[in-house]
Structure 1
Amino acid sequence: MTASTPMLITFVVYIAAMVLIGLAAYLRTKDLSDYILGGRSLGSFVTALSAGASDMSGWLLMGLPGAVYLAGISESWIAIGLIVGAYLNWLFVAGRLRVQTEHNGNALTLPDYFTNRFEDSSRILRIFSAVVILVFFTIYCASGVVAGARLFESTFGLSYETALWAGAAATIAYTFVGGFLAVSWTDTVQATLMIFALILTPIVVMIATGGVDPTFAAIEAKDLTNFDMLKGASFVGVISLMAWGLGYFGQPHILARFMAADSVKSITAARRISMTWMILCLAGAVAVGFFGIAYFSAHPEQAGPVTANPERVFIELAKILFNPWVAGVLLSAILAAIMSTLSCQLLVCSSALTEDFYKAFLRKNASQTELVWVGRAMVLLVAVIAIALASNPDNRVLGLVSYAWAGFGAAFGPVVILSLLWKGMTRNGALAGMVVGAVTVIVWKNYIGMGLYEIIPGFILATLAILIFSRIGNGPSQTMLQRFDVAEKEYQDAHI
């Protein structure tokens, strides 16, 4: 279908606004710290919404509503797991990571933090963690490019090849130009757009189906089990869905938001804002899919596109129920979700290549201007590779995205948590945790399975590996212990 002119104009205005924000951030970017972490200058509001938007990709507006539309409320276990995981991440990791990265060589990236925290002169931690980031995030970026292309393809009737470049171009432009500040500022706008769309749409759908009672009656009439939280669920299945929350502790693009806060004192307010945003967005996404059951059972003649692909439920409801100008704004929210996640992933890959390879191994004394331009070049490089992977949407590589989240969660999550909470942890423990976590996820996914999400055994075995290997060989040095104590005291003092 060819999009109406109002929707096209809305999309163009939205994309132009994002690029202008990128240009404004460009003027504020003076050195690599600015480009990678925004000079650690984010206030609590931007930190909160940027962390939320970078986390929630197109899955929030397409995948989750589609799953609930198809199977009912039982699909919301994953949302519950994500809320619990995100809250614990803000509570135990955010503030401590902000302080510890500053005390450990003013680390700008996760590999940089691991290297300084454990005084790793061999730099094997830096290399291994940077490689994990590059491999998984390049695949993640490719999936974001595919999602953007699908949106442009279905909304504007473009060919897949044209849609591929149209969807990726704007995100690449503002990330390339403005770096972390551009990504964080645009994330804040995008998060606002997403919550607006996810609160407004379910309310209008309910009104269109006659109000609360008729809507619930229609959902019940369609299938009584739509209301059953345990429909078709086993204990292992529910635990696996809830375990998605474990992934938060190891996601580099989310952890970077904590590192970029202007002060540890901003974290508490940021946590409250971010969790409120997240709960409302996830509830709205579940409601869109759930109330969509009632709307399309009452209007079966309009249900064709959703029957063919349940993930289109939000898109079709927006087109049917809203004025084209408003529909354009609502559909821009899907683009916002895709762009916000893709831009963060591009920047984390660029950071790993620039800070953890180029500066660490090739040009130790490179000027700040040189490093910023290398960072920009790396954004382009990763984007081109992602577009190449995405050029064939049936590429089997894209299927790896399903466990990239588990890979990060298991490889980095236990290392991050224990490095912040346990001063007895050593480099050997950190390396063992990373390797065991990553390998367990891959082996479990491909050879064992048993219906259990691979992040669970990965997380458990990585934690055990850290505890065991940290007690083998030399313990932490006196300087490591002192740095840990000073940083922890600063964190505790900020919370008195």
Structure 2
Amino acid sequence: MDVQTWTYIIVGVTFALYIGIAIWARAGSTKEFYVAGGGVGPIANGMATAADWMSAASFISMAGIISFAGYDGAVYLMGWTGGYVLLALLLAPYLRKFGKFTVPDFIGDRYYSKTARTVAVFCALIVSFTYVAGQMRGVGLVFSRFLEVEINTGVIIGMIIVLFYAVLGGMKGITYTQVAQYCVLIFAFMVPAIFISIQATGHSIPQLGMGGTVSGSDVYLLDKLNGLSTDLGFAEYTAGKKSMIDVFAITLALMVGTAGLPHVIVRFFTVKKVKDARKSAGWALFLIAILYTTAPAVSVFAKVNLIETVSNKEYSSMPEWFKKWETTGLLTFDDKNKDGKINYYNDKSKDEAFVAAAAAKGLAGNELTIDNDIMVLANPEIANLPNWVIALVAAGALAAALSTAAGLLLVISASVSHDLIKKMINPNISEKGELWAARGAATVAVVIAGWFGINPPGFVAAVVALAFGLAAASFFPAIILGIFYKKMNKEGAVAGMVVGMLLMIFYMLKFKFGIFDGGKEAVAGLEAKWWFGISPEGFGTVAMLANFAVALTIKTFTPDPPQEVQDIVENIRIPSGAGEAVDH
């Protein structure tokens, strides 16, 4: 069977499974809708957390970034993995013991203020919509290539699927759906990685294959990739090109942003006890590490295969996968010197001799443009793997994108129905009314998320990295100070969140979208103007520090919080006697 038939079969079966689980586990109460009734087991919750955590950015885009950034791409591995450890050890148990359904709920009660709750809801919506934009783009990208429909059509199909099981099942349905999605995505990521590792190096373990020698030779795979890269005018794959300050800033922003992500934090409210929250965090870390330690190997295999397949080859001899990716617009060939060959090289190399030599050969500039996000999806095709493996990767990518999109949509709906309507606008709303409000908010959120998917602000991982920066700038200081500094007050927390969020939004608009400097076309020229040499993806670190500084400064000039609030903070740091999550 061809790839498209296999894709229809495998994607159709997995979608039927997700919808069936959503019907079976549909929510009948607000507690089931928000936190799955608080009765999920540690292993199941660990799998669901891993699926929630490993979004389209992890599955589709991370290995793609590492393929083109090389050593510098390791910031995503370090930041996202380290961030999960930080969340699991430093925040999750304490937030779980506090017993609130949402991050705005925690901030509203901890800082005894409707203003604090409102600001937190605004921040949660900004973070979640930025994050979900990346997921919907991933959905559209997969459907575009493998079902051969327009990207916009693919996004709409994804919206309908997510809407069905997120709105019907709530957190209960999403949790058990995510268990299935974890199984699909990890199988889909590992199978082609193992195939290609054996093919390229003879090792069945991809991590060993990446550090091994090429089959039939004494040349190490990484040495071969370094040679292929320098021959084309690029820096060595294993050489770092980013400044140390930017590497540090991006890594820290991703780490602390993780610890402030509302859709990940809420997962720790779905278990019965604090002890179960710790156990599920451990399981999730183990399950996440399977993919995260494999991604660098996939990036190396993909880059080597791509260069050897396309560089200096006749365009007319390109395999079918090349032409099909061209139709998506994510891979483009422009025959600038009309020689019929694909001249893929770094025409902006700082090595003047290399550029001069290329010009002497009659080359008129790089002719191949490749979107980072296609590398994982195209990798099995480039390596000539069986069609069912190619279709499996499509199903895995959809599982990764849809699982995280569902979790984010639930955060958005809970922020609107629980934190705004129930806690502020209409405290007397019935449970049934609140449940319908949550489902209505989720429906509106899906439509907005779909618009972002059709009009994405960048490739998947870059968009997601901005969401982490926004979470770092807004939530992390308020949560950390709320748990570990009992005299932190509402004035300081609110001022810090507002300053951090506005600073991060301004920097994104200025340097990521060129809003104040000539639009997106001018962004490439703004790198020299970055503040402190820090990219938009890393600026969450600066905005977070500004948040801390403002919060602590304002706190010194304003009254301490009420004694009962200080007593609550003391209590949540005592690791005993925690019962089920309750809505006070």
TM-score (norm 1): 0.90
Q: Given residue 251 of structure 2, which amino acid in structure 1 is its aligned partner?
A: M
1:279 matched to which residue of 2?
A: 289
Q: How many residues align?
A: 483
Q: How far did residue 372 of structure 1 move?
A: 1.2
Q: How far did residue 228 of structure 1 move?
A: 5.6
2:229 pairs with 1:223: yes
1:195 to 186, 189, 192: 186
1:138 matched to which residue of 2?
A: 129
Distance 1:298 1:207 in 2: 17
Percentage identity across paired residues of the two chains: 21
1:463 matched to which residue of 2?
A: 548
Distance 1:192 1:401, change over 3 A: closer
Distance 2:455 2:558 in 1: 48
Q: How far did residue 442 of structure 1 move?
A: 2.5
Q: How far did residue 81 of structure 1 move?
A: 2.0
- CA deviation vs aligned residue, 1:419-444 (integer Å, no higher than 9, x gap): 11121211112212211211221244
Kept after mapping to 2: 8 A contact 1:3/1:156: no
Matches within 5 A, 1:302-313: 302=319, 304=322, 305=325, 308-313=370-375
Kept after mapping to 1: 8 A contact 2:259/2:476: yes
Kept after mapping to 2: 8 A contact 1:205/1:295: no
Distance 1:341 1:451, change over 3 A: farther
Distance 1:328 1:241, change over 3 A: same
- CA deviation vs aligned residue, 1:22-60 (integer Å, no higher than 9, x gap): 11111xx23212101112222222332322222222112
Kept after mapping to 2: 8 A contact 1:133/1:349: yes
1:388 matched to which residue of 2?
A: 451
Kept after mapping to 2: 8 A contact 1:43/1:261: yes
- CA deviation vs aligned residue, 1:120-167 (integer Å, no higher than 9, x gap): 2xx111111112222342343343223211210111111233222112
Distance 1:491 1:78, change over 3 A: farther
Kept after mapping to 2: 8 A contact 1:48/1:271: yes
Q: Given residue 399 of structure 2, which amino acid in structure 1 is its aligned partner?
A: A
Distance 1:95 1:393 in 2: 35
Matches within 5 A, 1:55-70: 55-70=53-68
Distance 2:44 2:479 in 1: 23
2:495 pairs with 1:432: yes
Distance 1:11 1:363 in 2: 42
What is the root-mean-square deviation in Å for CA atoms of aligned residues?
A: 2.6
Kept after mapping to 2: 8 A contact 1:98/1:264: yes
2:173 matched to which residue of 1?
A: 182
1:409 to 469, 472, 476: 472
Q: Given residue 421 of structure 1, which amino acid in structure 2 is its aligned partner?
A: F
1:18 matched to which residue of 2?
A: 18
Matches within 5 A, 1:290-369: 290-300=300-310, 301-302=318-319, 304=322, 305=325, 308-319=370-381, 320-369=383-432
2:557 pairs with 1:472: yes
Matches within 5 A, 1:133-282: 133-211=124-202, 212-214=212-214, 215-216=221-222, 218-223=224-229, 229-243=238-252, 244-282=254-292
Kept after mapping to 2: 8 A contact 1:318/1:331: no
- The answer for unaligned runs of 5 or more in structure 2 is 203-211, 215-220, 311-317, 326-330, 332-367, 512-529, 580-584
Q: How far did residue 216 of structure 1 move?
A: 4.1
Q: How far did residue 12 of structure 1 move?
A: 0.7
Distance 2:193 2:451 in 1: 37
TM-score (norm 2): 0.77
Helix, strand or coil for the counterpart of 2:571? helix
Q: How far did residue 82 of structure 1 move?
A: 1.7
Distance 1:70 1:174, change over 3 A: same
Distance 1:311 1:268 in 2: 34
- CA deviation vs aligned residue, 1:310-367 (integer Å, no higher than 9, x gap): 4222212234543333332222110011101111111111001101122223332222
Kept after mapping to 2: 8 A contact 1:198/1:288: no
Distance 1:71 1:169, change over 3 A: same
Distance 2:50 2:543 in 1: 25
Helix, strand or coil for the counterpart of 1:4? helix
Distance 2:308 2:238 in 1: 24
| Segment drifting more, 300-309 vs 193-202 | 300-309
Distance 1:127 1:330, change over 3 A: same
| Bigger radius of gyration among the two | 2
Helix, strand or coil for the counterpart of 2:556? coil
Helix, strand or coil for the counterpart of 2:213? helix
